[in-house]
Amino acid sequence: MTLHCQKIGHGLPPILRSATADLLTIHGPLLFDWAARHGSPLNLVWPDALQENLAALKGVLTDCRVEHAIYYGAKVNKSPGLMQAALSAGAGLDVSSLYELRDARLLGAEGVRLVATGPAKTGAFHQELIDCNALISVDPPGRLEDLIHGLPADVGPQPILLRLRPRNQSKSRFGMPADAVVHCLARLAGESRLRFDGLNFHLSGYLWETRVAALSEAADLIAEARRMGFSPRMIDIGGGLPIQYVDRARYEAHLAAQAPEDYRNGKIPDSFYPYGSNLSAADWLHRLLEAEMSQGRSVAGYLAREGLTLAMEPGRALADQAAITVFLISRVKALGPDSHVIFVEGSSFSACETWFASEFLVDPILVPATRPAAQSPPIRAYLAGHSCLDEDVLSNRWLSFPIAPHAGDLLVYANTGGYQMDLLENEFHRHAMPARLCVVKDAEGHPILVPDTIGEV
Ligand SMILES: *Cc1c(COP(=O)(O)O)cnc(C)c1O
C-alpha cells in the first residue's frame, strides 16, 4: 500500500449480520431495484433482528435468575414493524408520546405491556395512559400533583414509578433527588388511587458501573418505601445499553490515529458515541447483574432476595442491526487533485451526527452499479446532502474509497436503526420523507419488502 492512501487501512467497516451482508452482495441487484422503486434515502428494517436482540438479553436475565420486564424504547425508530416485533416476542413498549401510545394500542398492546418513562408528557398523553392503566413514571414532583388532580374519583389503582435522579447525574434536568422521592412517597401515602410500583432512572452515558451506583441508591429508597408501608415490586434501570457498530481494535486504532486534517473542516469532533464498544448489550447486562452492589451481594442476588423485578427500556440496543439506510449517489465532484465530494440523493439527515457537531464513525459501504474498471484509483471524499446548504454534510470526515464511486452507485450505511434513521428527517426543499420498508423472507427464503405500516407487519 502506498503512503498516499495509508488511511484506507484505518477504515471503520461496520459489523454486519449475515442478512445485511447477503443483501449487499448476492442480492445486490435487488437493492438497486428497490432503490429505483422507493427513492433515496431508503430505510430498510429487519424486525426479526430486534427479536434476536431481545432473546439475547432475556437469555442473560434468565441465566442469572432475575425476574424481568423489558420494554422496547420505541422512540429510537418510527417503525411500527419494530414495535410489533417487540410485542410479538413478549416484550413491552416504552412509549414517549401520545402518538407512540396510540400506535402501540392499534398494534394490540394492553396497558400492562406499556410504560411511559420519558420526561415530556402532555396532559392528553397522561390521560390516555391512565385510560389504559399503563405504568407511568412520574417526574418532577409537580407532575404527581397534576396526576392526582386529573384522576377520576372511581379509578382503580393507577400504577406509577418515581423517577430518581441519582447522585452521579446531578447535572441532569431529569429525575428527582432522593429526598424529593421520599417527599413524593409521603404524598402518596394518603392516595389510594395511585399504586407505587417502584423506582426508575435513565442515565446518560453507557457505563454499567453508573447503573450499579444508581441501583444502590434506589435500594435505600426501596427500603425506606417499605418502612413507610409501600410494597414496591420493581426497579427500572432505563436504557443506555451499548451497541457495537465497528470492531473495537479498529475503532481504538482509528481514534488514536485520527488528526484534524482527516476532516474537511480541519476539526476533530469533541465527542463520539462509543462506536467500538468492548461489550455487547448482553455482555453489558451480564456485568451489571454480576456486579457487587453491597456487602458481597450481587445485583442479581439483591433483586432475588428482595423479590424485585428488573425493568429496562433499551432503545438503541434492541434496534442493533435492525436497519440500514441506502443512498443513491447523484454526483461525484472533484474538489482538487486528491479530494472529492459525493452528493447523495435526497435528505442528509439520516446516518449522520454532523448536526450534533459529532460524526457517525462508521464507514458507508459502496455498492457499485457496474463492475469497476480494474485500474480505478482510490479516492478521498466527504459526503454531502442534496440541499443548498454548504454545511449540509453526512460526514465531515474524509472517507477513503479503494474504488472510485460514481453517480448511480449506492452508498449503504449499516446499523442505522437506533436514532440514525428518522430522528432529524424533514421535508426540506419539499423532498419527500424517506421511504421505510420491512425486509422479510418469502416462501422460498428470498428477501422481499413489505410496507412498514400498522396492519401490514
Ligand atoms: C431514550 C430513553 C431510553 C432509551 O435509551 P437508549 O439509549 O436508546 O437505550 C430509555 N429511557 C428513557 C427515559 C429515555 O428517554
Superfamily of domain 3-46+321-451: Lyase, Ornithine Decarboxylase; Chain A, domain 1 (2.40.37.10)
Distance, CA of 217 to CA of 265 (rounded, Å): 44
Pocket-testing residue among 53, 57, 76, ligand 1, by greatest number of atoms within 8 A of Cβ: 76
Of the listed 132, 184, 352, 388, which one is catalytic?
388
Query: Is the CB of 417 within 6 Å of ligand 1?
Result: no
pLDDT of residue 120: 85
Q: Is 306 exposed, middle or buried (0-12, 13-18, 19+ CB in 10 A)?
A: middle
Q: What is the DSSP letter of 155?
A: P
Query: Is the CB of 118 within 6 Å of ligand 1?
Result: yes
For residue 277 the three cell numbers come to 464498544
Closest-CA residue to 325 (of 1, 31, 75): 31
Ligand 1 centre from 303 Cα, in Å? 22
Distance, CA of 127 to CA of 102 (rounded, Å): 12
User: Quick one: pLDDT band at residue 4, thresholds 50, 70, 90?
Assistant: very low
pLDDT of residue 424: 81
Pocket-testing residue among 53, 70, 75, 77, ligand 1, by greatest number of atoms within 8 A of Cβ: 75
For atom 14 of ligand 1, the residue with the nearest CA is: 118
When the pLDDT of each residue in the chain is averaged and rounded to a whole number, the result is 93
190: helix, strand or coil: coil
Radius of gyration of the chain (CA): 24
pLDDT of residue 141: 87
pLDDT digits 0-9 by tens, 401-434: 988 999 999 999 999 999 999 888 888 888 888 9
Contacts of residue 138, defined as CB under 8 A and 6 or more positions apart, other chains included, come to 144, 147, 160, 161, 162, 163, 184
pLDDT of residue 300: 98
String of b and e for 266-304 (b: at least 16 CB within 10 Å)?
A: eebbeeebbbbbebbbbbbbbbbbebebeeeebbbbbbe
- Each domain of the chain, given as residue ranges in start order, spans 3-46+321-451, 47-244+279-312
Domain 47-244+279-312 has CATH 3.10.330.10: no
Q: Is the pLDDT of residue 345 over 70?
A: yes
CA angle 391, 389, 418 (to 5 degrees): 60
Report the percentage of the chain scoring pLDDT > 70.
Answer: 96
Contacts of residue 450, defined as CB under 8 A and 6 or more positions apart, other chains included, come to 437, 438, 440, 456, 457
Mean pLDDT of 168-180: 94
pLDDT of residue 5: 38
Q: Is the pLDDT of residue 440 over 60?
A: yes
pLDDT of residue 294: 83
Ligand 1 centre from 352 Cα, in Å? 19
Whether omega before 41 lies within 30 degrees of 0, making that bond cis, reads: yes
Report the percentage of the chain scoring pLDDT > 90.
Answer: 82
Q: Is residue 257 within 8 Å of residue 10, measured between CB atoms?
A: yes
Q: What are phi and psi of 172, to 5 degrees?
A: -75, 145
pLDDT of residue 313: 98
String of b and e for 44-53 (b: at least 16 CB within 10 Å)?
A: bbbbbbbbbb
The CA-atom distances, in angstroms, between 205 and each of 59, 169, 214, 255, 430 are: 24, 10, 13, 18, 36
User: For the residues of 359-427, what is the DSSP string, one character each?
Assistant: ---SPPEEE-SSPPPTTPPPEEEEEE-SSS-TT-EEEEEEEEESS---TT-EEEEE--TTTTTTSS---
pLDDT of residue 373: 67
pLDDT of residue 113: 98
User: Quick one: pLDDT band at residue 348, thresholds 50, 70, 90?
Assistant: low
pLDDT digits 0-9 by tens, 137-154: 999 888 999 999 889 888
pLDDT of residue 1: 32
Q: Is residue 259 within 8 Å of residue 10, measured between CB atoms?
A: no
Contacts of residue 398, defined as CB under 8 A and 6 or more positions apart, other chains included, come to 7, 262, 263, 264, 339, 380, 381, 382
Q: Is the pLDDT of residue 135 over 50?
A: yes
Ligand 1 centre from 96 Cα, in Å? 10
pLDDT digits 0-9 by tens, 229-246: 999 999 999 999 999 999
Give the position, in ligand 1's atom list, of the atom nearest the Cα of 206.
7
pLDDT digits 0-9 by tens, 275-333: 999 999 999 999 999 999 988 899 999 999 999 999 999 999 999 999 999 999 999 99
In the annotation, is 388 catalytic?
Answer: yes
Contacts of residue 338, defined as CB under 8 A and 6 or more positions apart, other chains included, come to 379, 380
Q: Is residue 441 within 8 Å of residue 419, measured between CB atoms?
A: no
447: helix, strand or coil: strand
pLDDT digits 0-9 by tens, 77-117: 999 999 999 999 999 999 999 999 999 999 999 999 999 99
Instruction: Provide the sign of the torsion angle of the four alpha carbons 102, 320, 438, 445, taken in this order.
Output: negative
The CA-atom distances, in angstroms, between 136 and each of 90, 95, 162, 163, 275 are: 20, 10, 8, 10, 32
